[in-house]
Amino acid sequence: MRVSVFGLGYVGCVSAACLAGMGHEVIGVDVNRVKVDLVNDGRAPVVEERIGELIAEVVADGALRATGDVREAIMGSEVSLICVGTPSEPNGSLCTTYLERVTEEIGAALAEKQAARQAGERSGDTGAGNTGAGNTGAAGDTEAGGAGAGDAGRGVRHTVVFRSTMLPGTCLNLLVPLLEKHVGGLAGVDIGVAVNPEFLREGTSVRDFFDPPKTVIGELDRASGDTVLELYEDLPGEVFRVPVPTAEAIKYADNAFHGLKIGFANELGAVCRALGVDSHQVMDVFLADRKLNISPAYLRPGFAFGGSCLPKDLRSLVHAAQRADVSVPILSHVLPSNSAHLERAVELVERTGSRRVGLFGLSFKPGTDDLRESPLVELAERLFGKGYELRIHDANVSLSRLLGANREYVETRLPHLAQLLADSVEEVLDHAEVCLVGTRDPAVLGALPHGGTPAIIDLVRLPDAETRRAEPGYVGLAW
């Protein structure tokens, strides 16, 4: 494919060189003349393992060249990768200035390309032949004129692929309108648009390019996604074709998690050190647990956590750290984060304006009657305290069967439980204007009505949440 790469920084330079190495015909574009000249001299503008040799090779082969001329690059390519920087503003917000500017420039060049194509088609219609004025209009001005005019003449739809990291919504709400305005056409119809985030790590980015952890394609339409797929043909790793905002969000999920992992490991290491424990020995065993630790366990958004262990153990670990003068901001904010999540459920109830509330589920997780530190008990307590008329059903919880610490816990936290517990799902449904669903108990799922009466607040992402989402009165905490 003929590819233009906008921005020859770490990402653009590596992408351009590697795509050229895969056999594509690549033209790099940068506003920085020094970077353009370096590439054209066969030298890398960034320091990276293997990039120097690769650039020398692909430039010598004629597979990669660079320019400062946007128009030339657009005319000479059928797909453009946008790799410009998206730094932080002083207040932490994302700077989209470079993205906006390059999108406008590309849009304007694409408008010219389309005009040239239409002129080419007109001259073709009249039987004047493709060597006529229509094609030379585009071809005459550019070094890659033959290729550009060829694309224009053949009517190949140009695809713009954003690789820069940007917040969900940036592409569809900011960049696509800009592109459409300048092109004078519709994205997804006249031009292809996709978001294809970058997962390379500086230092090993050439290796990572050829062996990526995954390929994510946020596609505006199927054809845009197909173009991106074609670019990376034969590269290993799973491919995920998703809506554009999902692709944008995935990059943030990855980076936030990576930062969190490192912060967690370092805080834990600092606590271990203070307690005279070898943190690497601890982590060796921690990492060996592929069921609960290094696994998908606990990574699906849902309701708050609770139970007799997690809150208690986090509290004592943080306390031990504080006693040893070890600052652990991540660990000490886990419980507040959990409380904030519980508060979101309370707010969803408040927003309905209803007073009669049903709650399905009460124990701290399915299949147990353990109520100690159950987030649903906490939720019930909050709602009861705010004067809501509450009815609760949990098939596993019967007051008469509760014993020992479990019974004591409920008696102190929710002394009115006996009046609030309902024997059946129907009793709760008859009472409630709004139902909080905190369980996936099949008896509850089977009985939950559709259509908004009662309204449903889904705390567990119900199996039919996708359908319910379109219904009135449904709101999901984990959407």
Ligand X SMILES: NC(=O)c1ccc[n+]([C@@H]2O[C@H](COP(=O)([O-])OP(=O)(O)OC[C@H]3O[C@@H](n4cnc5c(N)ncnc54)[C@H](O)[C@@H]3O)[C@@H](O)[C@H]2O)c1
Closest distance between ligand X and the C-beta of residue 30, in Å? 4
Q: Which is nearer to ligand X, 83 or 436 (CB)?
A: 83
Judged by the rule CB under 6 A, the positions of this chain that interact with ligand X are 6-12, 29-32, 35, 83-86, 98, 101-102, 105, 164-165, 198, 200, 202
Q: How far is the CB of 131 from ligand X (least distance, A)?
A: 33
For the bound state, the minimum distance from the C-beta of residue 7 to ligand X, rounded and expressed in Å, comes to: 3
Q: Which is nearer to ligand X, 50 or 393 (CB)?
A: 50
CB of 198 to ligand X, least distance (A): 4
Considering the complex, state which of residue 103 and residue 142 has its C-beta at the smaller distance from ligand X. 103
Say if CB 84 and CB 46 are below 8 A apart: no
CB 199 to ligand X: min, Å = 7
Q: Residue 343 has which token pair? A: 């508060």
**Gap between the Cα atoms of 21 and 32, Å rounded:** 23
Q: How far apart are the first and last CA of the chain?
A: 38
Place of tokens 């040893």: 324
* DSSP-assigned letter for residue 27: E
Euclidean distance between CA atoms 102 and 234, whole angstroms? 30
State whether residue 163 is helix, strand or coil.
Answer: coil
Q: Is 309 a catalytic residue?
A: yes
CA-CA distance, 212 to 22, in Å (whole number)?
Answer: 14
Closest CB to ligand X among residues 68, 269: 68
Residue type (1 letter), 173: N
State whether residue 384 is helix, strand or coil. Answer: helix
Which of 13, 171, 309, 435 is catalytic? The answer is 309
CA 146 vs CA 25, 86, 306, 403: distances in Å: 14, 34, 66, 84
| Closer Cβ to ligand X, 198 or 458, answer by number | 198
Q: In the sheet where 455-458 sits, what is the strand order? A: 389-393, 356-360, 434-437, 455-458, 474-476
| Residues annotated as part of the active site | 309
